[in-house]
């Protein structure tokens, strides 16, 4: 029997309205509603089109999907998704991303079902930050700077570089994925109801320095704005919360003491080119270096205006020097887990794709952001003809012929 919930889940994750999907299928909007609510079953031709649109097998629609089996009900709250974006997002976009994280959470549950994960540093850090914020009488800027210093210390980020930023945040317990979110959204983050943190990064040809800022920005949301209902914020509140996450990101990426020392080597503080060595060292953009210097009082507002004008004149606001050279940090944690469970025989990747998830390779690429080539290496079967005994066979034949 056709399971309508499976179709509804896929449709919502892909951001289609029933009307949009009906137009793709060449049926009425009412027909799609009937499929999803189990009033009628689609014909084989429609099922074939559905599997093409959503990159799944036909049998996907006739057995309980992995959300039903591996997702904790009501675990993803769309009200609490924090977007790194200049716009307030429409509810349909938020619903699509919430459904996407539901699938991701089911996937993580699936691959870690028989894996013992270490105690999560991020939970201890979050609780320590909340305790401080709830009891501190410091001003908000001082609070944010304190939590950033705390995060750098607890995550074991060394004081002179951000080279291992992605690795250490993933190691702390955050699950980081890439996704084609769209041009208006750089990244987003959330805590599940089960206290699993996610950061979803856009993959729209970002530079390494922009990606580092996105990661730090979203970590700021996870630590500073736990359980905040972002969807209920008005524009003024949204801007304020984004500014707090930006301030946190700058403080995390450019620790005050070390950065203040570094600024002593900058000869012409209004010349962006004089900051290129600092960009190499900290893997942060020239814009962030300028803003952080101003926040710390190392650059006067007038000088910062001249600095920004020079950025504009040199066209660095479009693309900065070194952006093509500094390597972009990529999420590796989930790849490592997949490699571990596959090599230990805990999860058969072929079984996972074909029989458990009933999907195509492109489905997993779209879901996780992991390239198909990675999954392909686990699908290659070694065909053993027993040729290790060929020498003994040859010797036996030769002796009989003599």
pLDDT at 86: 55
Domain end position, chosen among 24, 43, 63:
63
Average pLDDT over residues 137-144: 97
* Confidence check: pLDDT of 4 > 50: yes
Residues 78/193, Cβ–Cβ less than 8 Å: no
Among 27, 46, 36, smallest CA distance to 7 is for: 36
* Confidence check: pLDDT of 392 > 50: no
* Confidence check: pLDDT of 399 > 50: no
pLDDT at 73: 83
Residue 20 CA from chain centroid, whole number: 27
pLDDT at 401: 39
Q: Do 208 and 254 sit in the same domain of this protein? A: yes
Say if 353 falls within a structural domain: yes
Chain mean pLDDT for the chain: 91
Residues 14/74, Cβ–Cβ less than 8 Å: no
Say if 75 falls within a structural domain: no
Residues 134/151, Cβ–Cβ less than 8 Å: no
Domain end position, chosen among 295, 313, 331:
313
Average pLDDT over residues 316-338: 95
C-alpha–C-alpha distance, residues 190 and 200, integer Å: 9
Q: Do 370 and 307 sit in the same domain of this protein? A: no
CA angle at residue 10 from 9 to 15, to 5 degrees?
A: 100
pLDDT at 204: 66
pLDDT at 72: 84
* Confidence check: pLDDT of 395 > 80: no
C-alpha–C-alpha distance, residues 300 and 288, integer Å: 15
Q: Exposed, middle or buried, 266 (CB in 10 Å: 0-12/13-18/19+)?
A: middle
More confident residue, 390 or 62: 62
Q: What is the pLDDT of residues 185-202, one digit of tens each?
A: 789 999 999 999 999 998
- The CATH code of the domain that includes 11 is 1.10.260.40
Q: Do 380 and 296 sit in the same domain of this protein? A: no
Q: What percentage of the chain has pLDDT greater than the value 90?
A: 80
* Confidence check: pLDDT of 246 > 90: yes
Alpha-carbon distances, residue 208 vs 46, 69, 287 (angstroms): 43, 37, 14
Q: Do 161 and 18 sit in the same domain of this protein? A: no
pLDDT at 278: 98
pLDDT at 389: 46
Residues 172/150, Cβ–Cβ less than 8 Å: no
pLDDT at 232: 87
* Confidence check: pLDDT of 43 > 90: yes
Q: What is the pLDDT of residues 218-242, one digit of tens each?
A: 999 999 999 999 888 888 999 999 9
C-alpha–C-alpha distance, residues 367 and 352, integer Å: 14
pTM reported for the whole predicted model: 0.91
Tokens of 159: 């004081």
pLDDT band at residue 203, thresholds of 50, 70 and 90? confident
pLDDT band at residue 119, thresholds of 50, 70 and 90? confident
Question: How many structural domains compose the chain?
Answer: 3
Q: Do 157 and 292 sit in the same domain of this protein? A: yes
Q: What is the pLDDT of residues 58-102, one digit of tens each?
A: 999 999 999 999 988 888 988 888 887 655 555 667 889 999 999
pLDDT band at residue 118, thresholds of 50, 70 and 90? confident
> Per DSSP, what are the bridge partners of residue 85?
185
Say if 187 falls within a structural domain: yes
- The CATH code of the domain that includes 272 is 1.10.10.2910
* Confidence check: pLDDT of 115 > 60: yes
Average pLDDT over residues 290-313: 97
Q: Do 272 and 354 sit in the same domain of this protein? A: no
Say if 103 falls within a structural domain: no
Domain end position, chosen among 19, 42, 63:
63
pLDDT at 346: 93
Q: Do 303 and 207 sit in the same domain of this protein? A: yes
Say if 382 falls within a structural domain: yes
Say if 107 falls within a structural domain: no
Say if 6 falls within a structural domain: yes
Q: Do 49 and 128 sit in the same domain of this protein? A: no
More confident residue, 186 or 166: 166
CA dihedral 311, 314, 315, 320 (to 10 degrees): -70
By residue range, what is the domain housing residue 12?
1-63
Q: Do 195 and 273 sit in the same domain of this protein? A: yes
pLDDT at 131: 97
* Confidence check: pLDDT of 387 > 50: no
Alpha-carbon distances, residue 10 vs 21, 42, 99, 122 (angstroms): 11, 15, 8, 31
Q: Do 52 and 162 sit in the same domain of this protein? A: no
Among 20-24, 115-119, 124-128, 388-392, the minimum mean pLDDT is found in 388-392
* Confidence check: pLDDT of 23 > 60: yes
Q: Do 297 and 378 sit in the same domain of this protein? A: no
Say if 99 falls within a structural domain: no
Helical packing angle, 121-135 and 140-154, nearest 10°? 160
pLDDT band at residue 379, thresholds of 50, 70 and 90? confident
Q: Do 293 and 387 sit in the same domain of this protein? A: no
pLDDT band at residue 249, thresholds of 50, 70 and 90? very high
């Amino acid at each position: 029997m056709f399971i309508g919930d499976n179709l509804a889940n896929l449709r919502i994750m892909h951001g289609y309205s029933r009307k949009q999907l009906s137009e793709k299928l060449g049926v009425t909007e009412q027909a799609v509603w009937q499929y999803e609510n189990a009033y009628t079953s689609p014909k084989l031709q429609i099922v074939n089109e559905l599997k093409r649109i959503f990159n799944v097998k036909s049998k996907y629609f006739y057995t309980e999907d992995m959300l039903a089996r591996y997702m904790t009900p009501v675990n993803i709250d769309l009200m609490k998704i924090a977007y790194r974006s200049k716009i307030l997002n429409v509810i349909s976009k938020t619903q699509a991303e919430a459904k996407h994280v539901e699938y991701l959470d089911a996937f993580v549950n699936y691959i870690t079902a028989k894996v013992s994960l270490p105690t999560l540093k991020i939970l201890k850090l979050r609780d320590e930050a909340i305790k401080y914020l709830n009891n501190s009488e410091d001003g908000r800027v001082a609070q944010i700077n304190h939590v950033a210093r705390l995060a750098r210390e607890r995550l074991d980020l060394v004081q002179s570089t951000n080279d291992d930023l992605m690795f250490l945040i993933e190691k702390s317990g955050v699950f980081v994925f890439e996704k084609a979110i769209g041009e208006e959204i750089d990244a987003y983050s959330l805590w599940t109801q089960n206290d699993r943190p996610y950061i979803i990064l856009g993959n729209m040809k970002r530079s390494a320095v922009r990606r580092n800022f996105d990661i730090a920005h979203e970590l700021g949301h996870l630590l500073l704005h736990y359980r905040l209902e972002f969807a209920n914020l008005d524009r003024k509140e949204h801007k304020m919360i984004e500014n707090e996450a930006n301030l946190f990101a700058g403080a995390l990426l450019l620790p005050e003491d070390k950065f203040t020392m570094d600024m002593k080597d900058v000869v012409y503080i209004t010349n962006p080119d004089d900051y290129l060595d600092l960009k190499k060292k900290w893997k942060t953009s020239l814009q962030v270096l300028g803003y952080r210097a101003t926040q710390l009082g190392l650059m006067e507002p007038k000088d910062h205006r001249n600095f920004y004008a020079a950025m504009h004149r040199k066209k660095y606001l479009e693309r900065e020097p070194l952006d093509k050279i500094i390597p972009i940090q990529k999420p590796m944690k989930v790849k490592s887990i997949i490699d571990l469970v596959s090599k230990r025989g805990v999860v058969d990747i072929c079984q996972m794709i074909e029989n458990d998830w009933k999907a195509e390779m492109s489905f997993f690429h779209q879901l996780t952001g992991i390239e198909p080539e990675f999954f392909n290496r686990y699908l290659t079967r070694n065909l053993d003809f027993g040729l290790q005994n060929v020498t003994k066979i040859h010797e036996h034949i030769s002796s009989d012929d003599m």
